[in-house]
Amino acid sequence: MARQRKLLSVPYYLWMGLFVIVPVLLLLFQSFRGLDGTFTLMNILNYFTSPVYLTMTGQSFLYAFLISALTLMISYPAAYFLTKTKHKQLWLLIMILPTWMNILLKAYAFIGILSQSGMVNQLLGFMGIGAQPLLFTRLSFLIVATYIEIPFMLLPVYNAIDDIDESMTLASRDLGANEWQTFRSVIFPMSLSGVRSGIQAVFIPSLSLFMLTRLIAGNRVMTLGTAIEQHFLVTQNWGMGSTMGIVLIVIMFAVMALTRKRQRGGIR
């Protein structure tokens, strides 16, 4: 039985080695190479001493935080009320249906909606407000990024709330707690595992968004993902691009460590 398990795990280890470990090692190796191909530490020094790169990193954290906060504010109430509906699986399927569509198609759909002649500006014109410059703004980037990331916050939060034993809420009511007290003392604390998973699923990808920064924000928003793309495809400075990629991986592990569930007394 143990031998069979080892054999079945071979494809997994091969996949992890070829498509995770080897690429990370290549990034690490490339981060110590200059434009002339020689070994150098200048890429790391430039990143941590350049106001441009540090400001870009700060902006990436800010937008990732805002996107995560907005998706949580929308997804948590939606997930909570979904668990109370009669056909909750059907409604959940409808809400995550947009994830089946390519992100590029969704971006172009929003370009049409938010453009000067789009649906939103037509509605504003009908109301007498007049067309507004909605596209290629920071606000439009936040709206579209939040819309795209909502299902990734909604699913783990929904699962966490749906897994709460109903006897826990009934016991809270029997002890005299009202709806708000039950939510604050029982439901929310027991659903924090889903919140943490949702933050990981949203915050980390939001740090490296680059397609939306160009198509929706018109490069008015610069993230680490945008800078990495520019270094690899435009400036051909693979060393600096690799350095920023390694920094992004380190940040990813840091976020996962900060949002993981703490152990108390040896019991998870």
pLDDT digits (tens, 9 = 90+) for 91-113: 888 888 888 888 889 999 999 99
DSSP 158-197: HHHHHTS-HHHHHHHHHTT--HHHHIIIIIHHHTHHHHHH
Residue with tokens 């007049």: 130
Mean pLDDT to the nearest integer, 134-162: 93
Across 255-268, average pLDDT: 65
Using 50, 70 and 90 to split pLDDT, how confident is the model at 117?
confident
What pLDDT does residue 262 have?
61
Give the pLDDT confidence score for residue 98 in this predicted structure. Answer: 83
Residue 265 pLDDT: 43
The answer on pLDDT for 267 being more than 50 is no
What's residue 189's pLDDT? 92
Q: What is the pLDDT of residue 259?
A: 84
Dump pLDDT digits (tens) for 51-81. 999 999 999 999 999 999 999 999 999 999 9
What average pLDDT score do residues 246-250 get?
Answer: 92
Output the average pLDDT for the chain: 88
pLDDT, mean of residues 143-170: 92
Calculate mean pLDDT across residues 223-233: 89
**Helix ranges restricted to H, the chain:** 2-16, 22-31, 42-49, 51-82, 88-96, 103-114, 119-126, 138-162, 166-174, 179-182, 188-190, 192-207, 211-215, 224-233, 238-259
Confidence band for 1, pLDDT divided at 50, 70 and 90: low
Name the amino acid, one letter, at 39: F
Domains of the chain and CATH, by start: 43-259 (1.10.3720.10)
How far apart, in whole angstroms, are the C-alpha atoms of residue 241 and residue 245?
A: 6
pLDDT in tens, 22-55: 999 999 999 999 888 889 999 999 999 999 999 9
3-23 pLDDT tens trace: 777 788 888 889 999 998 999
pLDDT at 266: 41
Determine the average pLDDT of the residues in 193-216: 90
What pLDDT was estimated at residue 244? Answer: 93
